[in-house]
Amino acid sequence: MKRDIDILVLSDIHLGTYGCRAKELHSYLRSVRPRMVILNGDIIDIWQFKKSYFPKSHMQVLKRLMKLASKVPVYYITGNHDDALRRYSPATLGNLQLLDKLMLTIGGERYWFFHGDIFDVSTTQARWLAKLGGVGYDLLIRLNNTVNWTLERMGRPRMSFSQRIKQRVKKAVAYINDFERTAAHIAITDGLDHVVCGHIHQPQIRRITLPHGSVGYMNSGDWIEHLSALEYAQGKWSLYMHQHATQEKVMTKAAESLQVELA
Which contacts of 88-95 are long-range, i.e. CB under 8 A and separated by 24 or more positions? 94/69, 94/70, 95/69, 95/70, 95/71
Q: Looking at residue 44, what is its pLDDT?
A: 93
**Chain centroid to CA 256:** 18
Q: Give CA–CA dist 114/80, Å, rounded.
A: 11
What phi and psi values does residue 139 have, to the nearest 5 degrees? -65, -40
Q: Give CA–CA dist 166/174, Å, rounded.
A: 10
Q: Looking at residue 141, what is its pLDDT?
A: 60
Q: Is 12 left (phi over 0), alpha (psi -120 to 50) or beta?
A: left
Axis crossing angle, helix 127-153 with helix 161-168, rounded to the nearest 10: 120
Q: Looking at residue 146, what is its pLDDT?
A: 64
What digits encode the pLDDT tens for the residues 166-199? Answer: 555 445 545 667 888 888 999 999 999 999 999 9
Global confidence as pTM: 0.76
Q: Looking at residue 228, what is its pLDDT?
A: 97
- Measure the CA angle with vertex 63, ends 47 and 11; round to 5°: 50
Q: Looking at residue 112, what is its pLDDT?
A: 96
pLDDT lower than 50: segments of the chain = 121-133, 169-170, 173, 246-263
Q: Residues 8, 34: contact at Cβ < 8 Å?
A: yes
Q: List, in order of start, the domains of the chain with CATH numbers.
A: 3-256 (3.60.21.10)
Residue 35 Cα distances to 7, 71, 107, 172, 252, angstroms: 6, 8, 15, 36, 30
Q: Residues 124, 211: contact at Cβ < 8 Å?
A: no
Q: How many residues does the chain have?
A: 263
Q: Give CA–CA dist 260/36, Å, rounded.
A: 20
Q: Looking at residue 47, what is its pLDDT?
A: 73
